[in-house]
Amino acid sequence: MKESPTAAKEAVTDDEQVVEFTVDGLEVRAHQPSSGQMAMVYQALSDYNTDQRKVAGIIDFFFGLLDENVQQVLGKRLLSREDPFDLDQVTDILSWLVEEWAGRPTQSSSGSTRSPTPIGPKSTATSRNGGSTRSRSPSTASAT
């Protein structure tokens, strides 16, 4: 019988892979995702999933990065109708975490210009053609 190689792996506890920050005064520690967690979020965001499953996958992925006590607190906040903590804040935090783990700065350097701030609310419109950016016309490339 084949034995699973995960039994031989040691848990990664490198402090460089933990990012600490606060959410409205709550101290949060986010652990860099494992390859398994990344695979699960890629699957969740697949074109084959409904929007509801994609959102659930993002929330599951986010909570999987956090310590259990923080998962409970932020989970209650997401479920509260009165609390302003919502999916937009979760995705903002995830974007920032990716930048941190990738080693990219979250603020522009003094010599670079900032991107313009978007004006107006975020769009909730969907494409009529299913979201594809591919042209429906045949290719104009010539065969050799």
Q: Where are the domains of the chain?
A: 35-105
Q: With 90 as the cut, is the pLDDT of residue 11 above it?
A: no
* C-alpha dihedral (131, 95, 63, 5), degrees to nearest 10: 90
pLDDT in tens, 74-131: 999 999 999 999 999 999 999 999 888 888 655 554 544 444 434 344 444 443 444 4
Question: For position 128, what pLDDT does the model report?
Answer: 41
Question: For position 123, what pLDDT does the model report?
Answer: 40
Yes or no: say if 56 and 50 are a contact pair by the CB < 8 Å rule: no
Tokens 């494992």 found at:
34
Q: Using DSSP, state whether 132 is helix, strand or coil.
A: coil
| Of residues 48, 47, 74, 50, the one with CA closest to residue 60 | 74
Instruction: Give CA separation, 103 vs 96, 99, 107, in Å.
Output: 11, 6, 12
Question: For position 25, what pLDDT does the model report?
Answer: 95
Give the model's confidence band at 64: pLDDT under 50 very low, under 70 low, under 90 confident, else very high: very high
Yes or no: say if 27 and 18 are a contact pair by the CB < 8 Å rule: no
pLDDT in tens, 24-61: 999 999 999 999 999 999 999 999 999 999 999 999 99
| CA separation for the pair 13, 64 (Å, rounded) | 15
